[in-house]
Amino acid sequence: MSKIVLYMWTSLDGFVAGPDDGPDQGLGVGGERLHDFLIFDGPDHPAAARARDDVGAAVMAEAMTSGAVLTGRRTFDHAGGWGGDHHDGVPIIVLTRSVPATPPPGHARYVTDVREAAAQAKEAAGDRDVLLHGAAAAQACLRAGVLDEMALQVVPVLLGQGRRLFDDVPGHVELELTHSADGPGMVHLRYRVLGGEG
Amino acid sequence: MSKIVLYMWTSLDGFVAGPDDGPDQGLGVGGERLHDFLIFDGPDHPAAARARDDVGAAVMAEAMTSGAVLTGRRTFDHAGGWGGDHHDGVPIIVLTRSVPATPPPGHARYVTDVREAAAQAKEAAGDRDVLLHGAAAAQACLRAGVLDEMALQVVPVLLGQGRRLFDDVPGHVELELTHSADGPGMVHLRYRVLGGEG
């Protein structure tokens, strides 16, 4: 059965971007430190990245086997919509508060309800997993109870400020650590979301 | 040379206590989840605790070899000052904004300056390490550049709210992951603090 899996590079103090992130600076001030172990061949977005370390490379390779992408609008816009093709032409479901007048590029579509977005992404992914992008979308999925797993790459740095991965999440969500590994330069933690009381 | 080492049990979203923590409820609402793997034989504070898991037990045993304790005033008060003896009668340096009229119990002493507190704790510890307690004290040590290492036990739960371990820390502090281990129920991460630009 298809699962929704969040892939994130985060600082130890829980920031996925530094302050003042925007279209021209997707990771904010100082946030590029989080992607030190990624190599960007093409446009500056994770879909085009490779990892320098073996464990990170395995994480990236797994993410790229996903059958659909579920992303927040901010992440989508910052990445230039991945030119409409995140990887292998899989459907890109973009969670947005309001649908723009201009249709999205390529394989993307806009959805305004998080449960509907999750359902469409799973349907589109078939028997493969859904790659979830973006802190706001992750928080929305957590609040809606539709996030299945998290693959977190914890970079050994404190950023002190910026965009938090877990900023507005429901109280007391139990997790299960299913895997951990040290890559050079970071620790990889994989969790299953068991459920909340929130 | 003596090092200042922070020992903390934290949720994955970075909380070391739930909301409304106070003297009668040191871990706040829902925060007791963070100490599920600790067994309290005596008074309800970490100094009297044992760990249920082997990795946690090793962490606790190491902490108890420290030659001095450095703690924030809030943690000290919540723990009833450990009756004046945290472990083995080692000196307890209590970082406080203002020194109370009543002298502290047992082996404790109040210090108002974080660098002075760190220096006194290291001096007192001799060739052993200093056990650092408390989120506020940890943040003060980070800001002052006197924190050497962190032993974090990351419990697989999102608390959503409460007291953050890293709430007011300087920007961009580089760390080095020196050890990681899975205990049942949590992941143990050990970092060396390399230094900051903050």
Instruction: Pick the residue of A6, A8, A10, A12 with the most B CBs within 10 A to test the interface with B by mutation.
Output: A12
pLDDT at residue A164, rounded to an integer:
95
Mean pLDDT in residue range A56-78: 93
Residue corresponding to tokens 């103090």? A13
Q: What is the mean pLDDT of residues B130-146?
A: 96
* Res. B89 pLDDT band, cuts 50 70 90: very high
CA distance A92 to B181: 36
Q: List beta partners, residue A154.
A: A10, A187
Task: Tell me the residues of A at the B interface, defined by beta carbons under 8 Å apart.
Answer: 12-14, 18, 30, 33, 142, 154, 156-161, 165-166, 169-177, 180, 182, 185-187, 189, 191, 196, 198
Average pLDDT over residues A112-132: 98
What confidence score (pLDDT) does residue A148 get? Answer: 98
The pLDDT assigned to A198 comes to 43
Cα–Cα distance, A198 to A143 (Å, whole number):
8
What's the confidence (pLDDT) of residue B191?
A: 97
pLDDT at B14 over 90: yes
Nearest C-alpha in B relative to A142: B158
Q: Which residues of A touch B157 (CB under 8 A)?
A: 172-175
CB atoms A13 and B177 under 8 Å:
no
Domain boundaries, chain B: 4-197
- Quickly tell me which residue has 């910026």 as its tokens: A162
What single-letter DSSP state applies at residue B103? P
Task: Choose the closest CB to B156 out of A13, A154, A177.
Answer: A177
Mean pLDDT of chain A: 90
Give the mean model confidence (pLDDT) for residues A63-78. 94
Check: CATH 3.40.430.10 for B4-197? yes
Is residue B111 a contact partner of residue B49, using CB atoms and an 8 Å limit? Answer: no
Q: Per residue in B20-42, pLDDT tens?
A: 888 778 788 888 899 887 776 65
> B interface mutation test: which of A172, A174, A191 has the most B CBs within 10 A?
A172
Question: What ipTM does this complex have?
Answer: 0.92
Task: Provide the shortest C-alpha distance from residue B178 to chain A (in Å).
Answer: 10
For residues B197 and A52, give the distance between their C-alpha atoms in angstroms, rounded to a whole number.
Answer: 25
Q: Which residues of A touch B172 (CB under 8 A)?
A: 30, 33, 157-160
Which is more confident, A33 or B130? B130
Nearest to A171 among B142, B160, B198 (CB): B160
Residues of A in Cβ contact (< 8 Å) with B196: 158
pTM, full prediction:
0.92
